[in-house]
Each structure stands twice: as C-alpha cells, then as structure tokens.
Amino acid sequence: MSRTRDILDRHHVPTLRTFAQSRVLLAFDYDGTLSPIAPTPERARLPVPTKRLLIRVAKEYPLVVISGRALADISERVADIDVRQLFGNHGLEWSGATSRPRAQVRQWVDRLHEQLDGAPGVIIEDKAHSVSVHYRAAPDHNRALRHILPVVRALRGVRVICGAAAVNLLPDHGANKGVALRRALERSGCERALYVGDDETDEDAFAAVEPDKLLAIRIGPSDKSRARYHLESQESIDLLLRVLIEARDGD
C-alpha cells in the first residue's frame, strides 16, 4: 500500500472528472463521510448543504448508500434523496429484500451487556444483524478499548472491525461493504463505481472492484488504506459533490 493522494488536488481532479463522465455508480458511506461524526449515533445528521448537493447529484448519477447503520435507520436519514439502493448493517441488509434478525447477534448482545454494562461511556448498539460498541463518550478511549477488545474477541463466529471510536461486530462469513458495492454495481448497469468511506469498515469496498473500474476515496490521508485517493477531511465532501455536479453540467 502507498500513501493516498488528494483527489481534489489539481493533478488528480482529471481522474475524478474522467470517472464522472463515464457510466459510473456513486456509492457513499454515511457516518464520517456524508455526515460528520456525532457524539452519539442518534445525533448524526446530514448537514443541509450536503443534503441539497446530494439531491442534485442523485438527478445526474445512480446513487447508493452503504452504511453500518440498520437499514430502517439509514432509510430515515436519506428519505428525501433519490437513492437508487440502500444497504444497512455493512451490507447484511439491503432495500427491497427481507431479512431476519440473527440469533447469533442476540447472543453477542447478551454477552456484551454482561461484560460491559457499567463501563463509563460505552454504548452497545444492537442492530439485529450486527453490533457496534461505541466508546466516544468514554473518559479514556485507550482504556475503554483495552476493556472492550478481549470481550468481543472471545465471542464465537465474530469478525471484529475497529472504526471511529467504535468496535463493529459482524458475522465472520457474512456480507460486507465490498459485497454490497459489487451487488450494487452489477444491478446498476454501470461500468464503473466511485466509493467514499472513512474507516476500516470501508476497506472491503475499497478493494471490491478492479482499480480501473473503481475510484476509491477515503476520508483523511492514509498510508495503510487500500483506497488510492483521499479527501482531506469530512468537510471536503461538499467540494467533491460540487465537482461531480459540474462534471455532468459540462456534458
């Protein structure tokens, strides 16, 4: 892996425009990508300017959102935007398909409450198909993580992915954001995809499609990501959306 490059740098904007002017599917993570990271999951909201830009983007491109949130949750947060397809629980749920809560996840949640209830600032988010253990409100993040990791790694059949002040638990043989992106691309009829995400849960998507068919963009520079490009910060998402709109306005 090499260090990511700023996709909005003048040397790399032509690459972005080339993708934008092709038959391309746009795919975005939600938390930390479209929406700023919030102190607690329920407080995350799309900024009004970003929402307005997404409404315009969705008129020019097929648009999908692939989130770690439960499908019902993410559906409410983008309800006014013409999103082609939604994926929740890191791709374990998707719009138009019926899914059942997993007994395995229920067992994890029970065990997590036994071991972690009372830990300062730790929140267990039961999403029926996956679990997120948040510790953003913990007074000492390192101490909270040292407490959480041995507990989650002792669970059976779990894939542990650390995110932004959260530990995500997925079934170890289940779907992921990479599987979701491939599914969305196949159904879209597009030749290429652009995917933007912000943490380790997005790495599966960054490597889901051949590099010539995928423009993978991470929020924040990194020398450990499978994405080739980055945005300097979450606040740069509006700049990216404007470039995408301008690329189609010029057709």
Residues 130-167 have pLDDT tens digits of: 999 999 999 999 999 999 999 999 999 999 999 889 99
Q: Could you give the C-alpha distances from 60 to 39, 43, 73, 205, 237, in angstroms and in order?
A: 33, 29, 25, 22, 17
CA dihedral 235, 240, 243, 249 (to 10 degrees): -100
The length of the chain in residues reads 251
CATH architecture of 103-171: 2-Layer Sandwich (3.30)
What digits encode the pLDDT tens for the residues 38-94? 888 888 899 999 999 999 999 999 999 999 999 999 999 999 999 999 999 999 999
Active site residues: 29
Question: Which fold is adopted by the domain 5-92+175-249?
Answer: Rossmann fold (3.40.50)
The pair of structure tokens assigned to 101 is 């809560």
Confidence (pTM):
0.94
* CA neighbor of 250 nearest in space, from 79, 227, 242: 242
169 residue type, one letter: L
Q: Domain ranges for the chain, please list them.
A: 5-92+175-249, 103-171
Rounded Cα distance, 96 and 90, in Å: 16
Rounded Cα distance, 122 and 167, in Å: 11
205 residue type, one letter: A
